[in-house]
Protein backbone atom coordinates (compact mmCIF):
# COMPACT_ATOMS: atom_id res chain seq x y z
CA UNK A 1 0.00 0.00 0.00
CA UNK A 2 2.25 2.83 -1.25
CA UNK A 3 -0.60 5.34 -1.31
CA UNK A 4 -2.98 5.27 1.63
CA UNK A 5 -5.12 7.41 3.92
CA UNK A 6 -4.51 7.97 7.61
CA UNK A 7 -7.46 9.02 9.78
CA UNK A 8 -6.39 10.72 13.01
CA UNK A 9 -8.55 11.29 16.07
CA UNK A 10 -8.82 13.56 19.11
CA UNK A 11 -8.71 10.57 21.46
CA UNK A 12 -8.46 6.78 21.56
CA UNK A 13 -12.17 6.35 22.30
CA UNK A 14 -13.11 7.90 18.94
CA UNK A 15 -10.50 5.82 17.11
CA UNK A 16 -11.82 2.57 18.58
CA UNK A 17 -15.41 3.62 17.86
CA UNK A 18 -14.49 4.31 14.22
CA UNK A 19 -12.73 0.96 13.91
CA UNK A 20 -15.70 -0.88 15.43
CA UNK A 21 -18.17 0.81 13.08
CA UNK A 22 -15.95 0.20 10.05
CA UNK A 23 -15.69 -3.50 10.87
CA UNK A 24 -19.49 -3.74 11.28
CA UNK A 25 -19.87 -2.33 7.75
CA UNK A 26 -17.06 -4.50 6.31
CA UNK A 27 -14.96 -1.44 5.52
CA UNK A 28 -11.28 -2.38 5.49
CA UNK A 29 -9.21 -0.44 8.04
CA UNK A 30 -6.03 -1.18 9.96
CA UNK A 31 -5.25 0.31 13.36
CA UNK A 32 -1.75 1.84 13.28
CA UNK A 33 0.29 4.05 15.59
CA UNK A 34 -0.11 7.74 14.80
CA UNK A 35 3.19 9.22 13.63
CA UNK A 36 4.19 11.84 16.22
CA UNK A 37 5.25 14.29 13.50
CA UNK A 38 1.59 14.41 12.37
CA UNK A 39 -0.13 14.82 15.73
CA UNK A 40 0.38 14.03 19.39
CA UNK A 41 -3.28 14.04 20.43
CA UNK A 42 -4.06 10.33 19.97
CA UNK A 43 -1.67 7.42 19.73
CA UNK A 44 -3.66 5.40 17.19
CA UNK A 45 -5.04 6.11 13.73
CA UNK A 46 -6.88 4.17 11.08
CA UNK A 47 -5.16 3.33 7.83
CA UNK A 48 -7.22 2.65 4.72
CA UNK A 49 -6.88 2.68 0.96
CA UNK A 50 -8.39 4.64 -1.92
CA UNK A 51 -11.12 2.03 -2.36
CA UNK A 52 -12.41 2.49 1.21
CA UNK A 53 -11.84 6.17 2.04
CA UNK A 54 -15.27 7.34 0.85
CA UNK A 55 -16.94 4.68 2.98
CA UNK A 56 -14.89 5.76 6.01
CA UNK A 57 -15.83 9.42 5.52
CA UNK A 58 -19.51 8.52 5.18
CA UNK A 59 -19.34 6.33 8.29
CA UNK A 60 -17.62 9.12 10.27
CA UNK A 61 -20.33 11.58 9.29
CA UNK A 62 -23.24 9.19 9.95
CA UNK A 63 -21.90 7.96 13.30
CA UNK A 64 -20.84 11.44 14.45
CA UNK A 65 -17.26 10.34 15.10
CA UNK A 66 -14.83 13.12 16.05
CA UNK A 67 -11.91 13.08 13.66
CA UNK A 68 -8.90 15.35 13.98
CA UNK A 69 -7.77 15.12 10.34
CA UNK A 70 -7.45 12.75 7.39
CA UNK A 71 -4.14 12.59 5.57
CA UNK A 72 -3.21 11.25 2.16
CA UNK A 73 0.14 9.49 2.43
CA UNK A 74 1.87 8.95 -0.89
CA UNK A 75 5.42 7.69 -0.48
CA UNK A 76 7.26 10.38 1.49
CA UNK A 77 4.48 12.96 0.99
CA UNK A 78 1.87 13.46 3.75
CA UNK A 79 -0.92 15.91 2.94
CA UNK A 80 -4.09 16.74 4.88
CA UNK A 81 -7.32 16.25 2.97
CA UNK A 82 -9.74 19.12 2.71
CA UNK A 83 -13.18 17.65 3.34
CA UNK A 84 -16.17 18.74 5.37
CA UNK A 85 -15.88 16.70 8.54
CA UNK A 86 -17.82 17.53 11.72
Residue 17: phi, psi to the nearest 5? -60, -45
pTM of the full predicted structure? 0.88
Task: Write out the chain's pLDDT in tens, 86 residues.
Answer: 589 999 999 899 999 999 999 999 999 999 999 988 887 778 999 999 999 999 999 999 999 999 999 999 998 889 998 765 54
Q: What's the CA gap between 53 and 29, in Å, rounded?
A: 9
Max distance between CA atoms of the chain, in angstroms, equals 32
Burial status of residue 38 (CB atoms within 10 A of its CB: 0-12, 13-18, 19 or more) = middle
Amino acid sequence: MDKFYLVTFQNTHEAIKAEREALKKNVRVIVVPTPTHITKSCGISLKTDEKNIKSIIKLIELQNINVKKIYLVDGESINPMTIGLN
